[in-house]
Structure 1
Amino acid sequence: MKTLIIEDKEYIRKGLCNLLQLIDAKVEVIGKCESVKDAVVVANACKPDLVFLDINLTDGSGFDFLEQTENLLFKTIFITAYEKHALRALKIGAVDYILKPVDVDELKMALKKVAQLVIPEQKQQLEIAKQVWSNDTTKLILSLQDSFQVIDLNELLFCGSDKGYTTFHCRENKKYVVSKTLKEFEERLAKANFIRTHQSFMVNLKFIDKYDKSGIVYLKNGKKIPVSSRKKEHFLSTFLNWDN
């Protein structure tokens, strides 16, 4: 599998290359680039089967590279830092990604997953990811076991997390379960008027009916959500000053 690594930090490029050689002899690294310009030239010339793509490059973004190589057929795995805002479109599961520093087990899982991807479907998901990353703050794309589910955050009541899984509870009793922790969605949801009431819960402020001083939030559908003592002060400050 001809592989191109597009990453602006040399030590990441070298480290990823070494790991790929270590875990999979079938992966042939044909190039390592740090800029959109160079990556486009190499991709057009060598036509890779797989691209490891950083979001922030020296002269643009990973999405710029994808736009300029849209006629090529290759699979994509993003590599990026957790704290980067660009990961907003990737944490939700629209495409596969691995975090820096690259973990060998995550890399193995990503390679296994990418082998099962269908390129036309991935292209659609990459386009959705780009839209979410760039401007649409009302949609969330969840990676489910057998599909990608787009949900409207205005229809999402609350999220509950347990043992590494997060369940999204929407209106009309719709539920979606993803194998990611609530922390991975927290920054994204906080920007859409959600608040952490408990280690295991985030609630949409617009669906709160009342707060019981015993430490319980009642939603408009009758659901009761606990407010932990550690989160209580922040919750009350946000809730009482929220302009809906």
Structure 2
Amino acid sequence: MRSKKYFLFLLFFDKLSPIKNYAVLNAIIVDDEEFARSSLYFLLQENCENVHVAGIAKSVSEARNLLSQHAIDLIFLDIAMPSENGFELIPQAQNANATVIFTTAYDQYALKAIKANALDYLLKPIDIDELKEAVHKAVKYIKLNKAENNRNESLKNLANDLNDKTSIKKITLPSGQGYRLVDIDDIIHIEADSNYSVFHLTNLEKIAVSKILKEYEEILPENRFVRIHKSSIVNLKFVKEYNSKNGLQVVLNNGETITVSRRRASDFFDKIKSYTNIQGEN
């Protein structure tokens, strides 16, 4: 049997609270693969007592019928399905005010888009503890019912990125008690601060995110963003100059100067040369 890799990813959530404190959530599972449907149903039944599976659908069409018949809080939604993909269900999910957890086989680009537009994901075979944690977070988010516009916008961004498959356009960043949708053209550079990544934006704002720099190195377009130091990623669009006065350094348009480590110098030169050539052709 051909093995597949899948991802579950939760669109928006907040800090954990005990799941037993909340009412039961009505959920539906939407997946064209029988094994995926039955295994997820079993895991939910055995481990997530606050989730009631109100229906199981093999297609988007069947899922629409379920949404019209039941008040649904949570949707476990496959993306790659015959006839219609999971994104075709998004308008109905939004109208129902349902939180969506996607399940999808992925390629490398899809994974980047997922990470850019979502805040959590689980790799199949699903780890029970991770599933329980994701449900906890979904319950908390549903209870708070915050950032509805951001959630919808993030869904649209993800759909657009996956359909385009050329470059990530926006990235979702947790910020305080909410979430920020940031255009990658507005990111000057990102610096590591312990286990945080600090985004420096064109409006002089700084956003600290509790994820390590490597995660964003993998997400952002490599022809535009280059890691020049273990603590720094720069957007080539904002490189004003580079020099070797005190070792190799990059000067950005905002006046900041960042050192390029010796082991990353060759990659930086290759990327800046390629980027400059592309800009010259445009």
TM-score normalised over the length of structure 2? 0.72
CA distance, structure 1, for counterparts of residue 223 and residue 88 of structure 2: 27
| 1:170 counterpart residue number | 201
Moved more, 140-149 or 129-138: 129-138
Q: Indicate whether 1:27 and 2:51 are aligned.
A: yes
1:221 to 244, 251, 254: 254
The Cα shift of 1:69 comes to 4.4
Which whole-Å CA distance do the structure 2 matches of 1:50 and 1:78 have between them?
A: 11
Secondary structure at the counterpart of residue 19 of structure 1: helix
Distance 2:65 2:108 in 1: 27
Preserved CA contact (<8 Å) 1:138 1:192: no
Distance in 2 of aligned mates of 1:196 and 1:36:
41
Structure 2 CA distance for aligned equivalents of residues 81 and 177 of structure 1: 31
Q: CA distance change for structure 1 residues 158 and 75 in 2, over 3 Å: closer, same or farther?
A: same
The alignment-based identity, stated in percent, is: 32
**Which gives a bigger RCO, structure 1 or 2 (Cα 8 Å, sep 6+)?**
2
Mapped partners of 2:132, 2:29: distance in 1: 16
Which deviates the most, 133-142 or 41-50? 133-142
Structure 1 CA distance for aligned equivalents of residues 60 and 148 of structure 2: 18
Per-residue CA deviation, residues 57-105 of structure 1 (Å, 9 max, x unaligned), is 2333322112244432422222345645345554235x55423213333
Rounded to whole Å, the distance in 1 between the matches of 2:182 and 2:135 is 27
Deviations 1:114-142 (A, max 9, x none): 22225864642343123322169543331
2:242 corresponds to which of 186, 199, 211: 211
- Report what 1:157 is aligned to: 188
Matches within 5 A, 1:4-15: 4-15=28-39
CA distance, structure 1, for counterparts of residue 83 and residue 122 of structure 2: 21
Paired position in structure 2 for 1:98: 121
Q: Secondary structure at the match of 1:210?
A: strand
Q: Distance in 2 between matches of 1:12 and 1:162?
A: 39
The equivalent residue for 1:128 is 153
Matches within 5 A, 1:184-203: 184-190=215-221, 193-203=224-234
* 1:169 CA drift (Å): 1.1
- Give the CA deviation at 1:162: 4.5
**Separation (CA, whole Å) in 1 of partners of 2:176 and 2:214:** 20
Match of 1:182 in 2: 213
Q: Equivalent residue for 2:10?
A: none
For 1:60 and 1:90, locate their aligned partners in 2 and report how far apart those are by CA, in whole Å: 19
In 2, are the aligned partners of 1:210 and 1:217 still within 8 Å (CA)? yes
Residue 273 of structure 2 corresponds to 240
Change (3 A) 1:192 1:139: farther
Structure 2 residue 146 is the aligned partner of structure 1 residue 146: no
CA–CA distance in structure 2, aligned partners of residues 49 and 131 of structure 1: 19
CA distance in 2, matches of 1:144, 1:104: 28
Q: Give the structure-1-normalised TM-score.
A: 0.82
Which amino acid in 2 is paired with 1:67? P
RMSD (CA atoms) = 2.9
Is the Cα contact below 8 Å between 1:79 and 1:97 reproduced in 2?
no
What SS does structure 2 have at the residue aligned with 1:48?
coil
Preserved CA contact (<8 Å) 2:225 2:236: yes
Change (3 A) 1:193 1:69: same
State how far apart, in whole Å, the 1-side matches of 2:216 and 2:58 are. Answer: 29
Separation (CA, whole Å) in 1 of partners of 2:258 and 2:35? 45
- Tell me by how many angstroms 1:113 deviates: 1.8
Q: Given the superposition, is the C-alpha separation of residues 9 and 168 from structure 1 closer, same or farther in structure 2, using an over 3 Å criterion? A: farther
Q: Confirm whether residue 75 of structure 1 aligns to residue 108 of structure 2.
A: no
* Residue 16 of structure 1: aligned partner: 40
